[in-house]
Copies of this chain bind each other. A is one copy, B any other.
Amino acid sequence: MSKPITLYSHGSCAKKGVPSFGIFTDILSLSATGPNPWKVAIILEELNIPYTHKFIKMADMKKAPFEALNPNGRVPAIEDPNTGITLWESGAIIEYLVQTYDTKAALTYTSSPERFYVSQWLHFQMSGQGPYFGQAVWFSKFHEERIPSATKRYLDHIKRVLYVLDKALEGKQWLVGDKCTIADLSFVTWDMMLPFIFGDDLGSLELEKNYPNYFAWNKRLMERPAVKKIAKEKTEAAATHEQ
């Protein structure tokens, strides 16, 4: 490949003053910027694929010209001039990237059953982690009224996802086989949202004590150079981009 892929994310390039939240950067921008485009950025970085990162305002997503690119009016979406493809849905984009550019299967498997287990965890991330963590964000921060029973429903769902991951990681370093794959990496940007979602109650989760396998795994993920780089860029983007 020679030409950079375009990755569409949420944001625009006007500075906005917002409070910061430790290593997880500012609260408002972090939530609105959204974890899914950064999930794709991590895979692009891991595979050393050249890309340019374009930020779209929320108000511009559900109309032309962006809606022609993605009828769902959401980010991430990519355009790859090397193959001519336009694609959306972060799970599908990640699968496209490894199938097209990860020729040595560094982040996935070509063997069976491993490649199906990678797919299983990726689908669990897409359907079981993202949407429920997202609803927890919505009801704890943005819904028009405070509804404790609805907020509790989704905080409980998060604890359940942590429990499932912790159980699956018992005696293991990574979800599938003996290496880090897109299955593991797909979870990390939503996991970065936990301090924002739980706020002052984060400590009550006692992550290290209650979910030790999950905790150690998340730490391993956060220490990877690609994840570190994107976490830093995400922080910077959240601090400088309008929603």
CB < 8 Å neighbour of A123 from B92, B139, B164: B92
Assess the A120–B144 pair: CB atoms within 8 A: no
A72 interface contact, C-beta 8 A = yes
Tell me whether A91 and B147 are in contact in the complex, defined as CB-CB below 8 angstroms, given that A71-B167, A164-B72 are known contacts. Answer: no
Assess the B164–A89 pair: CB atoms within 8 A: no
A55 interface contact, C-beta 8 A = no
List residues of chain B with CB within 8 A of the CB of A66: none
The chain B residue sitting closest to A73, CB to CB, is B164
Give the copy number. 2
Tell me whether A113 and B85 are in contact in the complex, defined as CB-CB below 8 angstroms, given that A96-B119, A149-B143 are known contacts. Answer: yes
Assess the A116–B96 pair: CB atoms within 8 A: yes
A111 interface contact, C-beta 8 A = no
Residues of chain A touching chain B, judged by Cβ–Cβ distance below 8 Å, are 71-73, 83-85, 87-92, 95-96, 99-100, 112-113, 116-117, 119-124, 126-128, 130-132, 135, 138-139, 143-145, 147, 149-150, 153, 164, 167-168
Excluding A73-B164, A84-B113, 13 further A-B contacts by CB distance (< 8 Å) are A72-B128, A72-B164, A87-B113, A87-B117, A92-B122, A99-B116, A127-B127, A135-B135, A139-B150, A143-B149, A143-B150, A143-B153, A147-B150
